[in-house]
Amino acid sequence: MYYKHHVFFCINRRDSGEVCCAQRGSEAMQAYAKDRIKSLRRSGPGGVRINKAGCLDRCDLGPCMVVYPEAVWYTYVDKQDIDEIIDSHLIHGRVVERLLLP
């Protein structure tokens, strides 16, 4: 396992006003998560990788991200949600039930 947790944020932007993750601030949240993992010194091989991704095709439930290899899907609203996913799941291995996608 190259990364313990490999996280993909959808940062797709759709045209013509359709619902998309980028419209809901996903790019800023991905950048925030990446910086936070780095400042916590959890980035890199054996640790956590925070990636941008194209459309994960769950637009209606977005903004969304997925954590592999465990295949846990989350939505989020703000930095507090990102902090909770990082602290609980990515650092301590406890899934954040309230933010799971159905």
Instruction: Catalog residues that contact a copy of itself under the rule CB under 8 A.
Output: 1-3, 6, 8, 44, 49, 51-58, 66, 68-71, 73
Nearer to a copy of itself, 44 or 93 (CB): 44
Output the CA–CA distances (angstroms, integers) from residue 37 to 12, 15, 53, in the order listed.
Answer: 22, 31, 17
Nearer to a copy of itself, 60 or 80 (CB): 60
Nearer to a copy of itself, 56 or 82 (CB): 56
Cβ 18 to a copy of itself, closest distance in Å? Answer: 18
Residues 6+ apart with CB under 8 A from 85: 33, 65, 74, 76, 96, 99
Distance between CA atoms of 66 and 42, rounded to whole angstroms? 18
- Phi/psi for 6 (5° steps) reads -115, 115
Cβ 55 to a copy of itself, closest distance in Å? Answer: 8
Cβ 53 to a copy of itself, closest distance in Å? Answer: 5
